[in-house]
């Protein structure tokens, strides 16, 4: 059996984090999102085909598999999910597994799904139960059989939704050919699935474990924490100086240095070439990327800090996602909790959005610089290449290449 992974999109809802980086390569739990999918499926298939598009070369360079052959195909024009899945036809002559690249499904659930599909003679959809089904494709079922699909209904008839995991027979390609453009101007896979329901049959498989959909930047934080709790192992491959305190599951990659006085409380992932300390505090569920620095009197808590970013002295970062090659001036502080402790909303793409989080610091794009003693309100979003001047209090949404003083 083969697997087909959809990774061609631009990830616009994840911006500013995806301005330079494809969404499937954003890190959670110590590795890119798409690498989790590959690692979990590779021993169930003999070939993995990845559909790439925007900045696809970065995906080709980053992913690997020890068990399966990886091939790539390209979607030049983004015409919808059904069109994307249609690109699999040239590689497929039998049933296959298909997955979105912005989800993470625990290995056991994924394997159970593959085994379930292998015993069926019809296409199958992975289903997850959610609290807000009106934001998804809602599935109506009778036993194992899916009888109806409704895309983002105002009054959902079910809490079961399309989880972005499919087992397809080759009948899907005929259904895609007969799929017409939706009002959004795209070929929607939900329309193709409805054709399968009407012409033959479609089965549903409800997953027994947690399902993670990574849609907005703050979604990375909860998933990162849970994956670290579940999968991270203590491994000290780098240099650890004397008088360093390491507690719990801490992964220190090759070439990283943990200097004297550093206090690390896992789960924590430290990337290659990172410099940690002296005299800093890294708290649970923190990812520190390749060639980053967390220096003297700095503290990082429950955050993702991507490659090349410098947090060198007297800084605090909590419940935040920080892009690549940022630099924090001395004394920069991130607030992550409202004084009234209510849910934090953000301004994202000029729209106010509820995050569902009581604690959220900042979402920062690549190449941002902050001056000394600058501060950020909870839920601030800073786009790439911005400059936050000394002593400034930043809030709301700060656009690309802005200068706030």
Which pLDDT score is estimated for 374?
A: 98
Residue range 39-53: average pLDDT?
95
| Lowest mean pLDDT segment, chosen from 99-108, 127-136, 274-283 | 127-136
Which pLDDT score is estimated for 121?
A: 87
Average per-residue pLDDT for the chain: 94
Residue 186, pLDDT above cutoff 90: no
Rounded to 5 degrees, what are φ and ψ at 113?
-65, -45
The Cα 297–Cα 323 span in angstroms is 21
Which pLDDT score is estimated for 182?
A: 85
Q: Which residues contact 142 (CB under 8 A, 6 or more apart)?
A: none
Instruction: Name the percent of the chain lying above pLDDT 70.
Output: 100
Residue range 370-391: average pLDDT?
98
| Lowest mean pLDDT segment, chosen from 71-80, 129-138, 276-285, 351-360 | 129-138
The Cα 38–Cα 29 span in angstroms is 14
* pTM of this structure: 0.94
Query: What pLDDT band is residue 185 in, cutting at 50, 70 and 90?
Result: confident
Q: Quick one: fold of 2-213?
A: Spore Coat Polysaccharide Biosynthesis Protein SpsA; Chain A (3.90.550)
Residue 156, pLDDT above cutoff 90: no
Alpha helices in 21-55 (DSSP H): 33-41
In order, the DSSP letters of 253-298 are -TT-EE-TT-EEESSEEE-TT-EE-SS-EE-SSEEE-TT-EE-TT-
Query: What pLDDT band is residue 170 in, cutting at 50, 70 and 90?
Result: very high
Residue range 16-31: average pLDDT?
96
Which pLDDT score is estimated for 171?
A: 93
Which pLDDT score is estimated for 208?
A: 78
Residue range 340-354: average pLDDT?
93
On whether the CB atoms of residues 149 and 161 are closer than 8 A, the answer is no
Q: Is the peptide bond before 278 cis (omega within 30 degrees of 0)?
A: yes
Which pLDDT score is estimated for 132?
A: 84
Residue range 211-225: average pLDDT?
94
Residue of 313, 314, 348, 349 marked active site:
313
Sheet holding 393-394, edge to edge: 245-247, 263-265, 281-282, 299-301, 316-318, 333-334, 375-376, 393-394
Cα–Cα nearest to 251, from 279, 212, 290, 220: 290
Q: Does 3.90.1150.10 match the CATH number of domain 227-404?
A: no
Query: What pLDDT band is residue 363 in, cutting at 50, 70 and 90?
Result: very high
Q: Which residues contact 198 (CB under 8 A, 6 or more apart)?
A: none
N-to-C CA span, the chain:
57
Residue 57, pLDDT above cutoff 90: yes
Which pLDDT score is estimated for 134?
A: 87
Q: Would you call 313 a catalytic residue per the annotation?
A: yes
Which pLDDT score is estimated for 78?
A: 86
Q: Which residues contact 6 (CB under 8 A, 6 or more apart)?
A: 51, 81, 84, 85, 98, 99, 100, 101
Domain boundaries defined on the chain: 2-213, 227-404
In order, the DSSP letters of 308-345 are T-EE-SS-EEES-EE-TT-EEPTT-EE--B-TT-PPEE
Which pLDDT score is estimated for 209?
A: 78
Rounded to 5 degrees, what are φ and ψ at 320?
-130, 160
């Amino acid at each position: 059996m083969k697997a087909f992974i959809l990774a061609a999109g631009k990830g616009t809802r994840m911006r500013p984090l995806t301005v330079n980086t494809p969404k499937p390569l954003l890190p959670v739990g110590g590795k890119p999102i798409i690498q989790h999918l590959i690692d979990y499926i590779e021993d169930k298939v003999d070939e993995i085909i990845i559909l790439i598009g925007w900045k696809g070369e970065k995906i080709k360079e980053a992913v690997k598999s020890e068990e399966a052959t990886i091939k790539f195909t390209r979607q030049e024009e983004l015409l919808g999910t059904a069109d994307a899945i249609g690109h699999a036809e040239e590689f497929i002559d039998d049933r296959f597994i298909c997955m979105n690249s912005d989800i993470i499904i625990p290995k056991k659930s994924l394997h159970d799904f593959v085994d379930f599909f292998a015993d069926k003679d019809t296409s199958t959809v992975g289903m997850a139960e959610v609290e807000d089904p009106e934001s998804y494709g809602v599935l109506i079922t009778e036993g194992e059989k899916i009888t109806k699909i409704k895309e983002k209904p105002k009054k959902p008839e079910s809490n079961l939704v399309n989880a972005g995991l499919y087992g397809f027979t080759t009948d899907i390609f005929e259904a895609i050919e007969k799929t017409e453009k939706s009002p959004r101007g795209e070929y929607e896979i939900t329309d193709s699935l409805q054709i399968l329901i009407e012409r033959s049959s479609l089965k549903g498989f409800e997953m027994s474990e947690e399902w993670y959909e990574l849609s907005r930047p703050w979604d990375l934080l909860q998933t990162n924490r849970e994956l670290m709790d579940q999968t991270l192992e203590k491994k000290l491959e780098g240099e650890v100086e004397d008088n360093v305190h390491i507690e719990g599951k801490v992964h220190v990659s090759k070439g990283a240095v943990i200097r004297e006085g550093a206090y690390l409380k896992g789960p924590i992932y430290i990337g290659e070439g990172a410099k940690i300390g002296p005299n800093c505090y890294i708290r649970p569920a923190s990812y520190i990327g390749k060639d980053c620095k967390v220096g003297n009197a700095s503290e990082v808590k429950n955050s993702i800090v991507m490659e090349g970013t410098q947090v060198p002295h007297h800084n605090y970062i909590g419940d935040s996602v920080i892009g690549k090659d940022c630099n924090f001036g001395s004394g920069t502080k991130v607030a992550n909790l409202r004084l009234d402790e209510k849910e934090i909303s953000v301004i994202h793409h000029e729209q106010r959005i509820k995050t569902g989080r009581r604690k959220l610091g900042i979402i920062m794009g690549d190449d941002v610089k902050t001056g000394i003693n600058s501060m950020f309100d909870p839920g601030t979003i800073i786009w790439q290449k911005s400059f936050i001047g000394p002593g400034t209090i930043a809030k709301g949404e700060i656009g690309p290449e802005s200068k706030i003083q």
